[in-house]
């Protein structure tokens, strides 16, 4: 990220979290003030295993190519670099390790953000990457491990069997495998992969448009807490597991929030790109206790979804009902 954008990004983050000593000084316009603030900014390194939100958007991000509606025009005027494609990071300070869930097209920036939350490594490269499926927002960041970019050495990439074969058999991904930039490990559904004493991962198959690979969500198990991460699923009712019970069994749930309503994308047939609408999910989750509702963080948000707008009515309704909309740099003790 260029220094300017990083500075602007930090400023915006701080102005949201109110960590600046003098909140008044966060007004943009006085370059001296801005410079002073930039120099004072740093994230506290995490002191125990922690999950960090590194991106919250649907695959194609925002501003979205060729979208000239207010959702994206406003973003183009105020690029703040908190708009990154869905991804979670896991930092394990005890073992000096960090992991990535999804290799999004924004991965270089996201790995730098992950480094901002730890102080044990001088290297942004992760100790492993878990991939849910072969749609562009979830794996194409792998290209940055290749010859034209980092020329990384044997980064462990964890994928389901079809996803693994897809990467092995198709260029340019096959070159990453042949050149040993990445080292593929096969995951098995409903089976625990133990990465370390502090991290275990269980893939759960979910119904989705599986053109090139199967699709999974992950149960991410830390030493004291468990998180469910399902960025893409066609509909909750098509799943063989009951999402409400799954929520009660974890501490945090990061769930598909692609669209709020079916009216958002007038130029596309929504039946061809099914997702649980946020409005439907809220109905389904209504019977959960307040404690269970508070575990839910909506993520994988399309550029058209009004929950991206901090001041929208639907965002307020979601929060009033006890749910959250995931935000970049949100941290969760694991």
Q: What minimum distance in Å lies between the beta carbon of 219 and Zn ion? A: 18
Measured at the alpha carbon of residue 162, what is the angle toward residues 194 and 245, in degrees to the nearest 5? Answer: 55
Q: How far is CA 1 from CA 6, 65, 314, in A?
A: 6, 20, 32
Q: What minimum distance in Å lies between the beta carbon of 173 and Zn ion? A: 17
Q: Select 41 or 67, whichever has its Cβ closest to Zn ion.
A: 67
Contact 253, 228 (CB under 8 A): yes
Q: What minimum distance in Å lies between the beta carbon of 164 and Zn ion? A: 17
Q: What minimum distance in Å lies between the beta carbon of 17 and Zn ion? A: 26
Listed residue (211, 182, 203, 204) closest to 273, CA to CA: 211
Residues at the interface with Zn ion (CB under 5 A): 59, 64, 67, 71-72, 135, 137, 232, 303
Cα dihedral 206, 208, 211, 214 in deg (nearest 10): -10
Q: Select 154 or 189, whichever has its Cβ closest to Zn ion.
A: 189
Q: Select 67 or 205, whichever has its Cβ closest to Zn ion.
A: 67
Question: How many angstroms separate the CA atoms of 76 and 265, rounded?
Answer: 20
Contact 209, 136 (CB under 8 A): no
Question: How many angstroms separate the CA atoms of 86 and 58, rounded?
Answer: 6
Q: What minimum distance in Å lies between the beta carbon of 94 and Zn ion? A: 32
Question: How many angstroms separate the CA atoms of 56 and 61, rounded?
Answer: 9
Q: Select 211 or 240, whichever has its Cβ closest to Zn ion.
A: 211
Q: Select 219 or 303, whichever has its Cβ closest to Zn ion.
A: 303
Listed residue (295, 301, 300) closest to 324, CA to CA: 295
Q: What minimum distance in Å lies between the beta carbon of 105 and Zn ion? A: 11
Contact 89, 114 (CB under 8 A): yes
Q: Select 67 or 270, whichever has its Cβ closest to Zn ion.
A: 67
Question: How many angstroms separate the CA atoms of 226 and 249, rounded?
Answer: 8
Q: What minimum distance in Å lies between the beta carbon of 209 and Zn ion? A: 6
Question: How many angstroms separate the CA atoms of 82 and 12, rounded?
Answer: 8
Question: How many angstroms separate the CA atoms of 198 and 272, rounded?
Answer: 40
Q: Select 237 or 309, whichever has its Cβ closest to Zn ion.
A: 309
Q: What minimum distance in Å lies between the beta carbon of 255 and Zn ion? A: 13
Q: Select 51 or 72, whichever has its Cβ closest to Zn ion.
A: 72
Question: How many angstroms separate the CA atoms of 203 and 230, rounded?
Answer: 10
Contact 160, 208 (CB under 8 A): no
């Amino acid at each position: 990220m260029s220094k300017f954008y990083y500075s602007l990004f930090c400023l915006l983050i701080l102005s949201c979290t109110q960590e600046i000593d003098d909140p008044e000084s966060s007004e943009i316009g006085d370059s001296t003030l801005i410079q002073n603030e930039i120099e004072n900014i740093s994230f506290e390194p995490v002191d125990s295993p922690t999950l960090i939100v590194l991106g919250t958007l649907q695959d194609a991000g925002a501003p979205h190519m060729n979208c000239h509606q207010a959702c994206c025009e406003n973003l183009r005027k105020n690029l703040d670099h908190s708009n990154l494609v869905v991804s979670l990071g896991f930092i394990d300070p005890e073992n000096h390790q960090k992991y990535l869930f999804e290799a999004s097209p924004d991965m270089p920036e996201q790995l730098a953000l992950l480094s901002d939350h730890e102080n044990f490594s001088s290297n942004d490269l992760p100790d492993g990457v878990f991939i849910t499926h072969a749609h562009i927002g979830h794996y194409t960041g792998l290209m940055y491990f290749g010859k034209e970019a980092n020329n990384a050495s044997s980064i462990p990439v964890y994928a389901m069997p079809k996803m693994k074969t897809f990467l092995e058999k198709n260029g340019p991904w096959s070159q990453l495998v042949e050149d040993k930039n990445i080292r593929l490990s096969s995951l098995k559904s409903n089976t625990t992969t133990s990465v370390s004493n502090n991290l275990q991962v269980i893939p759960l198959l979910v119904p989705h448009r599986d053109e090139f690979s199967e699709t999974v969500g992950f149960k991410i198990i830390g030493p004291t807490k468990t998180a469910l991460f399902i960025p893409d699923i066609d509909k909750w009712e098509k799943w063989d597991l009951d999402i409400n019970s799954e929520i009660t069994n974890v501490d945090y749930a990061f769930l598909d929030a692609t669209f709020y309503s079916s009216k958002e994308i007038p130029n596309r047939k929504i039946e061809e790109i099914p997702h649980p609408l946020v409005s439907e999910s809220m109905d389904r989750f209504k019977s959960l206790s307040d404690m269970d509702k508070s575990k839910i963080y909506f993520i994988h948000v399309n550029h058209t979804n009004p929950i991206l707008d901090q001041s929208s009515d639907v965002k307020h309704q979601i929060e009033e009902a006890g749910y959250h909309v995931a935000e970049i740099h949100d941290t969760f003790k694991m």
